[in-house]
Amino acid sequence: MNFLVTGGAGFIGSHVCERLLRDGHAVWTYDDLNNFYDPQLKRRNLCDIQSLAPWNNSAKDPATAGSPAYSTGRAKPFEFVHGDLTNRAALDALFGSVKFDQVIHLAARAGVRPSLEEPALYQRVNVEGTVNLLEAARKSGVKKIIIASSSSVYGVNSKVPFSESDPIFSAISPYAASKLACEALGHVYHHVYGMDVTMLRLFTVYGPRQRPDLAIRKFATLIHADKPIPVFGDGSMARDYTYITDTVDGIIACTQKEFGFEIFNLGESQTVKLGCLIELLEAALGRKAVIDRQPQQPGDVPVTFADITKARARLGYNPQVKIEPGIKLFIDWFRKTV
């Protein structure tokens, strides 16, 4: 099949592209390579994807080239398209040139704390960009789209673990609000146009290629350099950390069935307190962390915890990597990058 993966140069997206290519599909990715973090890291991800197959003679290395697209020259190609979700004409042109069977929409402005500083940007990219993508897909006859939402939509939820049926009217950041809007839009396009839309509430994903702003990689980098790590609050904050291969398994499972409109949690269904996470990183790195205590930050929720009963039943989702071996796997990769 022909897949479009938006945000395919990023952390989760690059792993999804690799899995699809290994499964024999043709993959296009649409990514603006923005400077939320170093674009060179995203170009390296593209090179990693490309390494699954040899270059053809006309291809250009995405780490150095400014070309908007490249191809592996395989019978099932990989193409990178440099583009912005807010550019409707560019999306329309892409959908007009390729007949996509499915779309996996992972591109977004990410991060709770940055969204407090630039709420309009998050609204424009995440909400308007998703509308543009849905419209382009609708007009070109694409029937199935998978959209990344976030555990942040649960807000300060006193009921744990979080279930897809829980009320979600307590968002506490512009990022969370933008993801709530995307879920609503997905339902609209299913209800009005009959599109098959699956929303995935992702819980803190980690593993190789993790974004440098996320806690596990950020802390590992600082501990490795013997620099203080910022700890907001008393260390009791807990997260449902999900290893990248488990998240990708859930995403791929969604490509194999039709659901009409459905929402799934993709988490590990295990909470880890921040203090425990730091201890695991210390053990894997063989270094002690220097703690820089800071006040609790606006927008941060005290806990995330996924109820994955529905995903187990409907997707066959069965996460395999618990936090202890997951951190060791991440640090094995991390050591190769420093």
Catalytic hit among 70, 122, 154, 175:
175
Q: For this structure, is 241 an active site residue?
A: no
Q: Rounded to whole angstroms, how far apart are CA atoms 266 and 320?
A: 12
Measured CA to CA in angstroms, residue 303 lies from 8, 44, 116, 315 at distances of 28, 33, 19, 25
The pair of three-digit structure tokens given for residue 175, joined into one six-digit string: 């990022």
Q: What contacts 235, CB < 8 A, 6 or more positions away?
A: 273, 274, 275, 278
Give the other-Cβ count within 10 Å of 248's Cβ: 21
Burial readout 318-333 (b: 16 or more C-beta within 10 A, e: otherwise): ebebebeebbebbbee
Residues in the chain: 338
The pair of three-digit structure tokens given for residue 288, joined into one six-digit string: 């002690």
Q: Rounded to whole angstroms, how far apart are CA atoms 27 and 17?
A: 7
Catalytic residue positions, numbered: 175
